[in-house]
Amino acid sequence: MSPDFDQHYFNKYFFNEDTGEFDNYQKSWFKLSYIPHLVEEASLLEKTISTALILGSATGECLQYLEINKIKATGIELSEYAQENSLKEFHDKTHWGCVTQQFPKLCQQGLSFDLIFSSCLHYLDLPTIEQLLGQIKGSCYYFSHYGGFQNFGDNAMDLKIKILEPYPWWVELFNKHGFTTTLSPYIWKSF
């Protein structure tokens, strides 16, 4: 993240693309996290998902949802608000800090996951995303990303989102880094 990064919006809120405004984590995590849809889609894939890492796990409700669905979940989250208000049972399952610092630490530990889901890549610059994609590819079977698509918050988030491109641009980026498509248009294989 750049030094001028405005922590305010990530402390208490994240963006609701339908209303064009910021919503409270607890109020809107279910809809905005994309996790319920992801769990349903993942059940149709060839490999059963039993472990997942969420890049941008907020206060832990998404981790809880995964665990209810028998997926062992770990998260990475930047928000100080989320850290102070996380679900107690998921506080220690979250690595607190920026994904660009926390994810490489997990890679150094040799951890791998059936699924890595990101809701934060579009807040990073392209060279950083490309570096992370190389690490993500070596650490999971499936990868999914939500956000940063054109018309996804391009008014209120202009200063926060660094990459805002049409969906095909993201597909090309993931393909360029060795990810291949699955039955779901939002889940890629890492090989």
Give 69's contacts (C-beta < 8 A, 6+ positions apart). Answer: 39
- Residue 188, pLDDT above cutoff 70: yes
The Cβ of residue 83 has, within 10 Å, a number of other Cβ atoms equal to: 15
- Residue 61, pLDDT above cutoff 60: yes
When pLDDT is cut at 50, 70 and 90, the band that residue 160 belongs to is low
**Do 101 and 38 form a contact (C-beta atoms < 8 A)?**
no
The predicted pLDDT at position 166 comes to 85
Q: Averaged over 141-153, what is the pLDDT?
A: 75
Which residue, 105, 11, 20, 92, is CA-closest to 58?
11
Q: Averaged over 172-184, what is the pLDDT?
A: 94
The predicted pLDDT at position 49 comes to 95
When pLDDT is cut at 50, 70 and 90, the band that residue 13 belongs to is low
- Residue 17, pLDDT above cutoff 60: no
The predicted pLDDT at position 110 comes to 93
Burial class, 19, CB count within 10 angstroms (exposed 0-12 / middle 13-18 / buried 19+): exposed
- Domain range 8-189, its CATH number among 3.90.79.10, 3.30.565.10, 3.40.50.2000, 3.40.50.150: 3.40.50.150
When pLDDT is cut at 50, 70 and 90, the band that residue 14 belongs to is low
The predicted pLDDT at position 117 comes to 95
When pLDDT is cut at 50, 70 and 90, the band that residue 1 belongs to is very low
130-153 burial: b if 16+ Cβ within 10 Å, else e: eebbebbbebbbbbbbbbbbeebb
Higher pLDDT, 108 or 80: 108
- Residue 53, pLDDT above cutoff 80: yes
Tokens describing residue 169:
């641009």
Domain segments of the chain as ranges: 8-189
Give 142's contacts (C-beta < 8 A, 6+ positions apart). Answer: 42, 45, 47, 49, 114, 115, 116, 182, 187, 188, 189, 190
Give 50's contacts (C-beta < 8 A, 6+ positions apart). Answer: 70, 71, 72, 114
Give 40's contacts (C-beta < 8 A, 6+ positions apart). Answer: none
Q: pTM for the full model?
A: 0.82
The predicted pLDDT at position 154 comes to 45
User: How high is the mean pLDDT of the chain?
Assistant: 82
- Residue 159, pLDDT above cutoff 50: no
When pLDDT is cut at 50, 70 and 90, the band that residue 2 belongs to is very low
